[in-house]
Amino acid sequence: MNDSTDITVPFAHAVIEAVRRVAADEIMPRYRSVVATRKDDGSLLTEADLASQRALVRALGAIEPVPVMGEEMAPEKQVRIFESAPRFWCVDPIDGTANFAAGIPYFAVSVALMENARPLFGTVYDPVADTAYYAVRGGGAWKDHRPLELAPEAPPLARAHAEVSLRRDTRALRGAIKNHRPYGKRRTSGKLSVVPIVIHIPIGALTTLPNGNEYNGAFSVYFATQMLVRQLERNVVRP
């Protein structure tokens, strides 16, 4: 492929079907029966994360043979792929591992196809509901096969709810948020880890997320949801 115009409907469907198969084969059979361990950053890791990442590397490589940057790879390898590969897949095999390991049905598989550090295609797949949200740069956004649309006016940022995770050292970020609170309410993650949902924040708020060099683990979620937000913005009717 040369650019986003080559990302056809069959291509998008092939990626989503590959993600769906991996979830069915590697994730759901382990749901509510897997043991979790902790990584160095304090987040959880299960065999389902590792098995599904291996399967995604094979499946996505068969569709578009470019490097795959995975959430469970070593940070040095993530950075090497991000900085050297003009085009690559970016995946989080289970976004919401804490929920998955606790038997809470709120987790997803996040996949993005990147080119020159910009997402061309992104999908967030919910294995429990068997629902896929996906977007193509310049082409729109969908929930399964239904185009997504937004109301003409987005809610103000002051009405948004901020979900803050304390697993990483975010003292500078927390200080800035405390002194210049841009949202209405804040919830701090405890045992329940809430998977990021685009609809919880107004359009454009994703541009304030920390950059990938600081939070490599957020790459796939950020890029996949960024695609959804940007393509939804195209559907907003401006006065």
For the chain, the domains span: 4-151+206-234
pTM of the predicted protein model: 0.70
What is the mean pLDDT of the segment spanning 105-113? 93
- 37-43 contacts, C-beta under 8 A, 24 or more apart: 41/167, 41/168, 41/217, 42/167, 42/168, 43/97, 43/98, 43/167, 43/217
Query: Which residues pair with residue 36 across a beta bridge?
Result: 46
pLDDT higher for 149 or 197? 149
Alpha-carbon dihedral angle through residues 178, 183, 188, 191, given to the nearest 10 degrees: -170
Which has the higher per-residue pLDDT, 38 or 157? 38
Least confident range of 11-15, 75-79, 103-107, 155-159: 155-159
Q: What is the pLDDT of residues 119-138, one digit of tens each?
A: 899 999 999 999 999 988 88
How far is the C-alpha of 175 from the C-alpha of 47, rounded, in Å?
A: 36
**How confident is the model over 21-61, as pLDDT tens digits?**
999 999 999 999 988 888 877 788 999 999 999 999 999 99
177 pLDDT band (50/70/90 cuts)? low
| Rounded Cα distance, 140 and 188, in Å | 33
- Give kind and range of the element (H or E) at residue 187: strand 185-188
Q: For 44-48, 62-66, 149-153, which range has the lowest pLDDT when averaged over its residues?
A: 149-153
5 compared with 117, residue with greater pLDDT: 117
124: which 2 tokens? 């967030």
Does the domain made of 4-151+206-234 have the CATH classification 2.40.110.10?
A: no
Helix (H) or strand (E) run with residue 236 in it: none
Q: What distance in Å separates the CA atoms of residue 229 and residue 137, rounded to the nearest whole number? A: 10
- Please determine, for residue 15, whether its predicted confidence score (pLDDT) is greater than 90: yes
Which residue, chain included where needed, has tokens 């070593």? 74
With a cut of 60, say whether residue 105 has pLDDT above it. yes
Q: Is the pLDDT of residue 206 over 70?
A: no
Q: How confident is the model at residue 151 (pLDDT cuts 50, 70, 90)?
A: low
How would residue 20 be classed by pLDDT, with cut points 50, 70 and 90? very high
- Which pLDDT score, from 0 to 100, does residue 25 have? 97
- Mean pLDDT value across residues 66-73: 92
